[in-house]
Amino acid sequence: MIKYRWLKVLLLIAAVFFAAFILMHIVLALMPFPELDAFKQRSYGLLVQDRNGLTLRVIPPEDGVKREWVSLDQIPAGVRRIFIRAEDRRFYLHPGIDPLSIAASAWRNFRAGEIVSGASTITMQLARIIKPHPPGMKGKLIEAWDALRLEAKLSKQEILGLWFNGIPFGSNIEGIGAMARTRFGLTVNQLDDVHAAVLAVVPRRPSLYDPLYNEGASFEAAALLARRCNLHIDEEILTAIISGIKHISDKDRAPFHAPHFTTRLAAMIQDDQSQRIIKSTLDANIQAFAEHQLENELLQLSGNRVGTGAILLIENATGNILAYVGSKSWFDEETQGKIDGVQVLNQPGSCLKPFLYAMAMDAGIGPNDILPDLPSVFGGSEGYIPSNFDRRFNGPVRMRIALASSLNIPAVYTLERLGVSRFERYLEQLGFYSITEKMGTHGTGLALGNAEISLEELVTAFAAFPRGGIPAKLRFYESGEDENEKTAEHDTVMSPETAWIICDILSDKASRYPGFGPAPVFQLPFPVMFKTGTSNQFQNIWALAATQQYTVGVWMGNFSGETVVGATGSSIPARIAANILSQLVSALPSSYNKPSHSAHVGGTVPAGLVERDICALSGMLVTPDCVGSVREWFPAHEIPGMCTWHNHSGVVYPPEYQSWIVERFRSAGTERNQSVGIRIPVSGSVFYIDPSYPASAQAARIETYGFEPGSAIFVDGILSGVLNNAGVFMLPLAKGQHLIEAEDELGNYAAVEIEVR
């Protein structure tokens, strides 16, 4: 009976203690713990991976501490077991403090006469990390109390996760993720038991057991821990791992790939602390290849003062960025390597022409329409005389030829016909927002690229052609919604028919020949559309290229604005673009959507297009009198009429091309008017020197009538040359007011006054 009564008393006491413990647990769980809340919200380094999971860069948090977040399930089970065994083998059994460990530690310290061991649990260590306490007994009591609070608020797994990410390893390193990378060049999931044993002893005394600084002490401590954990570690392997730490490369300890891309991505998500690991769209292998291509070409141009460059490669369907090269090198101070060339504004030269002709086509100008490539003065009394790169004039040219061969005069003619302001608004619709602030200031020079735009704007707009008229939106990382999947009607800037025909023109080798000749750099074994451009005496050289799957843009020049030495054509960036696209075909895994050897750049022919035979000269439907024909695409409702230029007697050019015919064929027998004069320019004309071309490539066309070939031309009273058989003289441009006089042996005379600015 007495035993039964004592049993009831004991049970009652136990119940009271249990109830008290539960009550205390509830109270502790409900008590505010602001330090814990702040700790859970602290910033970690942003780990940026490429699309295949390779680490591109770890961007440290604002406090500069090397700290990477790793989830508990990323840490191998063996690594977790070793760390727990090293610090707190009864972690899963105690409520935050371990009475058995406290008793054992007290006994050892008593026998030694000094403190030789502690009794901190993992939870107590975490409490000390979260809320540092003063030394001594008072601090230990605070630590124990906070440990109980943590156990009440968090699960064991949550405690373990926070602890693994907060362990101080010394050397400004916190957490197992940063330590694994900094010492071994490994991610946490690559750690094995040997690496774990080496790392697990470091937090005890970082200055003594860090393997980078003390190989011997690290080996002894790791080997001892391995024996305590019943691990059978080969000592030779342990020695090799520890001694090999000093040979690990910096790129493995602190990866620093695609710095401009990763810097920009980090800025995009800087306010989102939940983003600790970002899987980007970049492909590290393609990025490295692109960087190598740029470096090689710049090395060849070192004597031409071309200092740097930029490359942007995207996937058309998604806008995913596959390669983003911002400069020659992030670390090159001489060329201002930290500047991001993908976003820098420069004049694009002829790279705007495809967009001009796309606007023209949707306005009713067909790829067969004839445009004048003749000496022309644009701008009324304020004369603007563009010239082609080779200073030749091709007379009547089809729009297809004008675009594919990048002829200047037809482009300026087209822009003047459609209106500069209209083209400015069109470019803005395509995403060229950099021109918004300078609307109305560009003039007809906009056709030749006198606006300042970025490589990014060019690439996303150029992708509109293989995308059926919808510009691309860049996608930096794998996130929820893909903006490129939204195909709202207002996103379509040009008609699908126009986009397809532009793709066809810029991938047409035959139409490219008049302007570029055979151009081996453009000859790839799969369909590619190219557009190149130069500006400011080759200060900027550009190339754009696209397949049905990918679009790539390349810019080369100098951030400082220096002009280059000599003539470095746009075939150089075009070669880089071609090599990158070829790499996409030959070296990438089958998971990539590779460029096809047969698919048209624009994809399937839009239903609204038809193909017809046309006269190669007039652009009209071919007749039996035409001497040559080519195939051309048209919207079904815009098929031209039959050719009127050819008849059974030959060819009859429209009147505006007669002067060009005379000059081209040197027809000395052509009848002339009895009167004499200077037809172009008229007195009072003002000419402007185009900064986009070398001064030696610019001249004013002096066109006379009635004068014999060989008649003298005087400029400001000085004999400057004689008329050719067509009565034309090309006057080199020089700033200032000038008197132009024509005079022959019979005393016939004419004069005009012009100004060159």
Within 10 Å of residue 513's Cβ, how many Cβ atoms? 14
Question: Does residue 693 sit in the same domain as residue 747?
Answer: yes
Mean pLDDT of 317-345: 95
Q: What is the pLDDT of residues 641-687, one digit of tens each?
A: 999 998 887 888 887 777 677 666 543 333 434 578 887 887 777 77
Instruction: Report pLDDT for 598.
Output: 64
- Residue 7 within any structural domain of the chain: yes
Within 10 Å of residue 479's Cβ, how many Cβ atoms? 13
Q: Which residue has the higher pLDDT, 750 or 274?
A: 750
605 neighbors 373 (Cβ within 8 angstroms):
no
Dist CA 314 CA 462 (whole Å): 11
Instruction: Report pLDDT for 139.
Output: 77
Q: Given pLDDT bands bounded at 50, 70 and 90, which one contains residue 528?
A: very high
Question: Does residue 640 sit in the same domain as residue 675?
Answer: no
> What is the maximum span of the chain, computed from C-alpha positions, in angstroms?
153
- Residue 601 within any structural domain of the chain: no
Q: Where are the alpha helices (DSSP H) in 52-192?
A: 77-87, 99-112, 122-130, 137-153, 156-166, 176-184
Residues 6+ apart with CB under 8 A from 542: 348, 349, 351, 455, 458, 532, 533, 534, 535, 553, 554, 555, 556, 570, 573
Question: Does residue 209 sit in the same domain as residue 334?
Answer: no
Dist CA 173 CA 542 (whole Å): 44
- Record the pTM: 0.80
Question: Does residue 466 sit in the same domain as residue 344?
Answer: yes
Within 10 Å of residue 585's Cβ, how many Cβ atoms? 18
Question: Does residue 349 sit in the same domain as residue 475?
Answer: yes
541 neighbors 455 (Cβ within 8 angstroms):
no
Instruction: Report pLDDT for 379.
Output: 57
- Residue 279 within any structural domain of the chain: no
Separation in Å, CA 402 to CA 407, 413, 516: 5, 11, 12
Q: What is the pLDDT of residues 677-713, one digit of tens each?
A: 887 887 777 777 776 666 666 778 888 888 887 788 8
- Residue 283 within any structural domain of the chain: no
Question: Does residue 536 sit in the same domain as residue 638?
Answer: no
Instruction: Report pLDDT for 119.
Output: 66
235-243 and 193-200 helices cross at what angle (nearest 10)? Answer: 60
208 neighbors 214 (Cβ within 8 angstroms):
yes
Question: Does residue 324 sit in the same domain as residue 231?
Answer: no
Dist CA 475 CA 48 (whole Å): 14
Region of 706 please: left (phi>0), alpha (psi -120 to 50) or beta.
left
Mean pLDDT of 740-753: 82
265 neighbors 280 (Cβ within 8 angstroms):
yes
Within 10 Å of residue 295's Cβ, how many Cβ atoms? 13
Instruction: Report pLDDT for 369.
Output: 94
Question: Does residue 23 sit in the same domain as residue 63?
Answer: no
Dist CA 167 CA 178 (whole Å): 10
Whole-number CA gyration radius for the chain: 38
Domain interval for residue 297: 292-586
Instruction: Report pLDDT for 746.
Output: 74
Instruction: Report pLDDT for 225.
Output: 92
Dist CA 661 CA 39 (whole Å): 82
Q: What are phi and psi of 416, to 5 degrees?
A: -65, -35
- Measured in residues, the chain has a length of 757
- Residue 553 within any structural domain of the chain: yes
Q: Which residue has the higher pLDDT, 111 or 410?
A: 410
308-315 sheet: strands from edge to edge:
321-325, 308-315, 550-557, 540-546, 529-535
Q: Which residues pair with 309 in a beta bridge?
A: 556
Mean pLDDT of 320-333: 95
- Residue 593 within any structural domain of the chain: no
- Residue 596 within any structural domain of the chain: no
Three-state DSSP at 673 gives: coil
- Going by C-alpha positions, the residue among 331, 333, 287, 277 that lies closest to residue 310 is 287
Question: Does residue 423 sit in the same domain as residue 523?
Answer: yes
- Residue 439 within any structural domain of the chain: yes
Q: Which of 586, 618, 643 is the last residue of a domain?
A: 586
Separation in Å, CA 616 to CA 333, 466, 610, 621: 53, 26, 17, 9
Q: What is the pLDDT of residues 275-307, one digit of tens each?
A: 688 999 999 999 999 999 999 999 888 777 788
Provide the domain count of the chain. 5
Instruction: Report pLDDT for 273.
Output: 60
Dist CA 138 CA 120 (whole Å): 14
Question: Does residue 405 sit in the same domain as residue 516?
Answer: yes
Instruction: Report pLDDT for 536.
Output: 61
Return the percentage of the chain with pLDDT > 90, whole number.
47
Residue 135 sits in a domain of what CATH number? 1.10.3810.10
Tokens of 452: 């300042």
Q: Given pLDDT bands bounded at 50, 70 and 90, which one contains residue 425?
A: very high
Residue 136 confidence (pLDDT) above 80: no
Instruction: Report pLDDT for 667.
Output: 39
Residue 105 confidence (pLDDT) above 60: no
Report for 55-64, 93-102, 383-392, 546-555: range of highest mean pLDDT: 546-555
Question: 699-705 and 677-680: which strand pairing?
Answer: antiparallel
Mean pLDDT of 524-550: 88
Question: Does residue 342 sit in the same domain as residue 444?
Answer: yes
122-130 and 137-153 helices cross at what angle (nearest 10)? Answer: 100
Tokens of 515: 């302007």
Q: What is the pLDDT of residues 594-650, one digit of tens each?
A: 666 667 999 999 998 999 999 989 999 999 988 788 999 999 888 999 999 988 878
Residue 719 sits in a domain of what CATH number? 2.60.40.10
Instruction: Report pLDDT for 443.
Output: 84
Mean confidence (pLDDT) of the chain:
84
Mean pLDDT of 8-33: 66
Mean pLDDT of 84-106: 79
Question: Does residue 506 sit in the same domain as residue 483?
Answer: yes
